Structures are given as structure tokens and as C-alpha cells.
Structure 1
Amino acid sequence: MTVLENIVRQHAERSAALWAQRDSLVLDDPPDLDAVRAIDGRLEINLDGLRVAGRAAWPRVLALHEEASGKGELFVLAWTALELESADYVVRAVEIARSADDGPGGLLGALAWHEASKIAPWVRDWIDARDSFKRFLGVSACLEHCVDPKQVLAPRLRDPDASVRTASLQLAAKLGRTDLTPEIRNAVSDEDQQVRFWAAWTLSEFGRGDPSIAELRKTVERGDRNALVALRAVVKSTPATELRSWIGTLLHLPQSAPLGVRAAGMLGDRSVLPWLIEQMNNPAVATAAGASLLELFPETRLADDLFTNDPVAAGADFGEYFADRIARVPLADKVLEWGRRQGYVK
């Protein structure tokens, strides 16, 4: 391997690792946006290395993906294909993403990273294609860049493919396309559960009535995979008195108690800190209490001793509760000391 090939390989490997780390950070609750921005700068530097290499980068990124087919490697492969504006390379990236074990997230990340004008020719072809996966990519790219596909969005809301319908609902909400409200109301009774959820969420974003909020509350109470998204929508859309009463209901049910604790952090009321510290002593809701702490007091990220990645350090009951699971939990005593130093706790 020549020196140039070795350098290109290093840029590809670093880009893959950085984007995978970035993607995981964005999914954290709540995300550390400062850490994400720091990674963005380092990632762009390494992508510049691939950009300078031009077409010589393609064999290297392809080989990297064949050796390690993670979401980061898919991101680098797709980003390079789009950067080189090669129809053959983009087709290859799409087909790899279609069957990727980790899903198409790496390709979606590459579409988001490039400027909208760069990917526009592909998106225009995909969004009305016969291939449902390409339609999904087209709508998802519009969602990432907040681009309105105008009259094309309505038929995508009725698309035969549920993933396309789901992405289209999220796009309608992001764009504020209230003109599509009748179509979205129809989607509330869709056969697909995910479509029904995102239809209800979109209507709540539009401020359109209690039925959607009732559906979102059920999602929270069941603890479904969309529970956090639903929870934030309910907090945003419900009057304070009614909301606090509902949160109390959540706290009394074992399956929803963590979400009740998490909701407290979404209210923006820092006076709940003493109560949150009490919850940190309960393994079942401690991680939710830690997430609420970070949302209410972002500065706690800068303190080195308030959280631990070793649950046993928080107490033997934490070790028993989490067993072999990886978890980052707050240390109640340390948080109490911090709160007293800052004057938040007497």
C-alpha cells in the first residue's frame, strides 16, 4: 500500500469512527450538543482528506466497508459516492444500504451531511420512484434538509410502504404543512402502528385537538419505543395543571414511573432538584432522574464526579438491578453536594 493509499485509508477509518460516535451521541437523552459539534469539526477535516483524494478514495472506502460493515463505514461509503457524483457509486451505496444489518442510517447521515443542492438530482429521482426504498430515501433527505417537495408530499402520505408514510408524516410536521391535515387525520387509523403514532404526533405539532394527545399519552403509558418523543409532545401541548396530574399518574405505575421522572425534567422547573435527587436513590428511575438533571442543568456535564458508568458504585442494589447491563447513573450524594455548592439545595 502506497503512502497516499495509507493516508486515504486513515481518513476513511477516522471518518467512520467519528460519525458512528456522533450518531450515538445524537441519540442520547438528552444529547450533548457541544460534544456533537466538537466531533463535527474533526469529522469534516477527515472528510476533506477524502475529498482531496477524489476518485482514488473510492476503492479504499469500499474495501473498508467490506472489512467492517458498520453504520460508520456505510456513512463514509455513501458520503464518498455522493461527493464524487458518480451514478454507479451511488447505486452501489443504495443497494448496500438496502440490506445493511444496522439499517440505512449511514446513508441517511451522508444525505444529511451533504448540502441540499449537492444531493438534489438524486432526491428528485428517488422521491417519486417505483422503488419504495428510494422513495423512503427521497422523503428522508427532504426531512433532513427541511425541503418541501410541494405536491409530491400528499401522495407520499398515502404511499403503499409504511416507512415512506412515516417519514412523510414527520416531514409534514417539520414543514408545518397544515394543508395536509385531512390526509394526516386519515393516517391516525392506519394499519401500521408506527404510522398511527407519527400521525398523532404530527397533529399534536399542528395543535389539532385532543384525540392526538390521548393517543400520545397511551404511547407513553405503554412505554413504547416512541415513548420519549410522545412524552415531549404531551408536555409541550398540555396545560400545566392537567400535565402535573397526569405525571403523577405515571409515577404511580411501575412501567411508566421512569417516564414520569423524565417528564419532570422537561417542565423547565429547577426547583424540582431536591426531588430528583431523591429519585436517584431508586435504581428503577435513576437513569431518568439523571437525564432530567442534564436537561435542567446542562452545566452538570462539566462535573466529573456526578455520574458513573459502573452502577455498583451507586450501591449494591444498583449492581443487582442493572446486572450486566451498561448504564450511566447519577450519584445522588455527589449531586446533592453539587446542588448545595451551587445554592440550588439548602
Structure 2
Amino acid sequence: MFAAAIPHIVEQHAEEAAFLWFLRNRAVNAPHYKLSELTRLDNRVEAHLDGLRIAGPEGWNLCEQALEIGEAGEVFTAGLLALESKNPQKLAKVASIAEDSVEAAKGLVSAFGWTEPSKLARTVKLLLDSSSSFHRFIGLSACAVHRVNPGNILDNWVQDHDAPSLLRARALRTVGELKRRDLIYDLRNCFHAQDAAIRFWAAWSAVLLGNRSDALEVLKVFMATGSRQFPGALPMLLRAMPIEGSAPLLKGLAQYPERQRDLIAGTGMVGDPLYVPWLIKQMETPELARLAGESFSFITGADIAYENLEGERPEGFESGPTETPEDEDVELDGDEDLPWPDPAKIQAWWVARQHRFQAGSRYLLGAPISESQCRKVLQEGFQHQRTAAALELALMRPDEPLFEVRAPGWRQQRLFLHTA
């Protein structure tokens, strides 16, 4: 039995659930969210989903109508209710909308990721066995986000040269996320594939499985071309290769002014305190200051906001979209949520503490990179830092799946409790 629904309240639940999911979708990739804050946001999403569940058919009807918008948040909300209803027709309706755009598909995959794995087995099996390549892609993505091995079907798609590119690329990525070491030689067979996504995800996964030779060479090509389509090339390269091998790559980036941001981010990925004085110098350039501050924190562990190392936003500095109609730049400011560092304060901080650091060694948040430090950062760090720690840990432990830092916060916290 469902409680009598009050239409405008149910409509508010639907709108808020979709909007808050949009916020959490940004939060999982944001530099200023910790796991505790992500969990609070997830709890807010869940509260509105509960309102929709209680409303019963009225809740579904409103979510179904909102699907016409075609946005990822609305797809997530409707997708979750469809999954919980175990009604194939409802899920098919959501999938038909999600198939129209990459962003909308993310909403549906997120609905699978939100749902407990024990409630998904039959639904995912039907998707994996579907004749629709998009349904198979969603089914495989559901397995990947829950780090559940789909078995031989993954082998088949990795080896199938006729499989749709989107599906095969997802299969290759899944091999690395799940640490399917038995498929490492199949990955190498893809290093010279014509499709760039196939080459990239094959090399990316191969590095996670322990290949530190030809797989890294494939990723170097992606890094050198500066392809924004594959931003994962740089962190995988610089975190996987020996520290002495990273210096020539960074010097190569330094030759190109347009790659300055990659260079600054790269020094933080390497983690060598040798680069700290140079990073402090970059903080004097407004366009680079906040990113340089983040890389400084990646190495030293300094919390610029918490430790009173912030400065003022430079007067007249503008970034991201403006209100000028003639301005064609509509891209959001990627550094928006980073603090403005004060170079003088940070210089003083560094002078007082630099004796704790050894040049030529790798650090993550002020401590030498180790399994224990990575696990500490996973529990206490900001999302950018947690993503780095998850990757470092996966590279250290070739048999341990890549930790999913985008999973619902309560599930991540539960995992920590079970492994404590």
C-alpha cells in the first residue's frame, strides 16, 4: 500500500533528487569534497528518492514525464525507480532516453551503481545477454562500477574485433578495474588497434595489471598529443613509471606554453619535492595559481584553506564563462573550487618544513607513497586526492581492484569498516 501522494510534494521530490544528483555528479570529481561531505550529499539524494518510493505510481509517473527533458539527473531518478520496480518495460523506457547521449547514459549507469548489487543480478544478466549493444554496454558498466566480474562474456568482448567500439572500449577498461590478469595478453593485442579508444583503454588497463614497458609507450603517445579525449593518460603514466623516467616527460611538456597546466598538474602527480620551489613561483600567475597550489598540496599535504595559506583573488581576474554575449568561451572554470594560494605565506611554510622532504622521492600529501598512506588518503582526503590514492594503490597491488571513489558514500564507508 502506498500513502496518498500530494502532487506538488512528489514533484518537488523528483526535481530535488535529479538536481542533487547533478550536484553529486560534480562533487565526485571536485577538489573540495571529502568522503564525509559526499556521504551527506548522498543522504540528501536518498531522502528525496524515499519520497518518490513512498508516492508509488505517482512518483514513477512524474519521473517518467521528466524523462522528456533528457538530462542525466532525470535519467538517474527514473532509472533507479525502474530498477527497484523490476519492471522491464520501465527500464526499457529509461534506456531508450539514455541511449540518446553520453551524459544521459551516465545517469543510468549511476542508478545501477546506487543500487545494491544483490538486487541487480537478474537485470544485469538480461542486459548482458541482450541483442542491443547499448544494453550490453549498460550491463557491463553496472558490473564494472560494482567491481563484479562478469566472467567469460568479458573475455569475448575484449577479443571480439567486430564488437561496437563503445562496448569493446568499456570491456578493456573493465579488465583493468577488475584486475583480470588472465586477459593481459589480450590487452597487448589491442595496442595497435585503429580505434584510439581501444588503444588507450587497452594500455591503461595493461599498466594497472603490471605492464611497465610497451603499455607505457602507448600512453606516452596520448600524452604527447595532448588529447583532451583521454585525460587519464598523464596520471597513469606519471604515477606508474619510475621517478627518474618522469623528468624527461615533464621537460618535454615545458617546451610548449599551451601545455603549462599539464606540466603543473604533472609535478603533483610525480610527487617529487624537488618541484616545490618552481610550483610556488607559478602561484604568482593568476591563471595557474590555484592549480599550482593543488599540486603543492599533493606533494606536501598542506591544506591551503585550513592552514591560512590563502590569498585574495587577483583584482580584475576573470575565468570561465562571462556575461558578455560576444564571448564564445562557455567552459566552466576548472579551478573554481580550489583556494587561491598566497605565494609569500606558502614560501614561509615551505622554508620551515622542507627539511622533512627528500628530493628524488615520491610523496602523496606529505608522506612517502605507501599502501598505508594511500588507504589513509582514501578515508580522509579530498576527491582529487582520493582518486590519486586509489590509482597509486591499484598500481602497487596488481591483484586488488581499483577502488571506486565515486560509489555512494555510505557504501565506501562500509567498505572501510569491513577492512579496518
TM-score using structure 1 length: 0.86
In 1, Cα distance between equivalents of 2:213 and 2:56: 54
1:299 to 298, 303, 306: 303
Judge conservation of contact 1:51–1:83 (CA < 8 Å) in 2: no
In 2, Cα distance between equivalents of 1:215 and 1:275: 29
Judge conservation of contact 1:262–1:289 (CA < 8 Å) in 2: yes
Report SS of the residue matched to 2:231: helix
Closer/same/farther in 2, CA of residues 29 and 299 from structure 1, 3 Å limit: closer
Report SS of the residue matched to 2:148: coil
Q: Which residue of 2 aligns with 1:259?
A: 262
Closer/same/farther in 2, CA of residues 229 and 38 from structure 1, 3 Å limit: same
Alignment partner of 1:211 is 2:219: no
In 2, Cα distance between equivalents of 1:320 and 1:58: 40
In 2, Cα distance between equivalents of 1:252 and 1:238: 21
CA RMSD of aligned residues (A): 3.0
Report SS of the residue matched to 1:80: helix
Cα shift at 1:15: 1.0
Closer/same/farther in 2, CA of residues 231 and 17 from structure 1, 3 Å limit: same
Judge conservation of contact 2:22–2:72 (CA < 8 Å) in 1: yes
Judge conservation of contact 1:62–1:77 (CA < 8 Å) in 2: yes
Cα shift at 1:298: 6.7
Closer/same/farther in 2, CA of residues 39 and 295 from structure 1, 3 Å limit: farther
Closer/same/farther in 2, CA of residues 103 and 12 from structure 1, 3 Å limit: closer
- Percent identical among aligned pairs is 28
Alignment partner of 1:88 is 2:92: no
Q: Which residue of 2 aligns with 1:137?
A: 138
Closer/same/farther in 2, CA of residues 333 and 134 from structure 1, 3 Å limit: closer
Cα shift at 1:304: 8.7
Closer/same/farther in 2, CA of residues 344 and 314 from structure 1, 3 Å limit: farther
TM-score using structure 2 length: 0.72
Closer/same/farther in 2, CA of residues 112 and 332 from structure 1, 3 Å limit: closer
Closer/same/farther in 2, CA of residues 244 and 116 from structure 1, 3 Å limit: same
Judge conservation of contact 1:200–1:215 (CA < 8 Å) in 2: yes
Judge conservation of contact 1:190–1:196 (CA < 8 Å) in 2: yes
Closer/same/farther in 2, CA of residues 203 and 117 from structure 1, 3 Å limit: same
Cα shift at 1:128: 2.7
Alignment partner of 1:334 is 2:342: yes
Say which structure, 1 or 2, has more relative contact order (CA 8 Å, 6+ apart).
Answer: 2
In 2, Cα distance between equivalents of 1:3 and 1:123: 31
Closer/same/farther in 2, CA of residues 115 and 291 from structure 1, 3 Å limit: same
Q: Which residue of 2 aligns with 1:104?
A: 105
Q: Aligned ranges for residues 303-322 of structure 1 at < 5 Å?
A: 306=310, 313-314=313-314, 318-319=317-318
Q: Aligned ranges for residues 230-241 of structure 1 at < 5 Å?
A: 230-241=233-244
Judge conservation of contact 2:309–2:341 (CA < 8 Å) in 1: no
2:202 to 177, 184, 199: 199
Q: How many residues align?
A: 339
Closer/same/farther in 2, CA of residues 31 and 205 from structure 1, 3 Å limit: farther
Question: Which shows bigger deviation, 102-111 or 271-280?
Answer: 271-280
Judge conservation of contact 2:13–2:48 (CA < 8 Å) in 1: yes
1:90-115 CA distance string (max 9 Å, x none): 11111111114734111011011001
Cα shift at 1:254: 2.0
In 1, Cα distance between equivalents of 2:201 and 2:135: 20
Report SS of the residue matched to 2:28: helix
1:124-173 CA distance string (max 9 Å, x none): 01113211101111111111100101111111112521111111111111
Question: Which shows bigger deviation, 77-86 or 20-29?
Answer: 20-29
Judge conservation of contact 1:169–1:199 (CA < 8 Å) in 2: yes
Q: Which residue of 1 aligns with 2:125?
A: 124
Q: Aligned ranges for residues 1-346 of structure 1 at < 5 Å?
A: 4-28=6-30, 32-66=34-68, 68-100=69-101, 102-157=103-158, 158=160, 160-269=163-272, 272-283=275-286, 285-296=288-299, 297=301, 299-300=303-304, 302=306, 306=310, 313-314=313-314, 318-319=317-318, 326-327=332-333, 328=335, 334-337=342-345, 340=348, 343-344=352-353
Counterpart of 1:314 in structure 2: which amino acid? P
Judge conservation of contact 1:173–1:206 (CA < 8 Å) in 2: yes
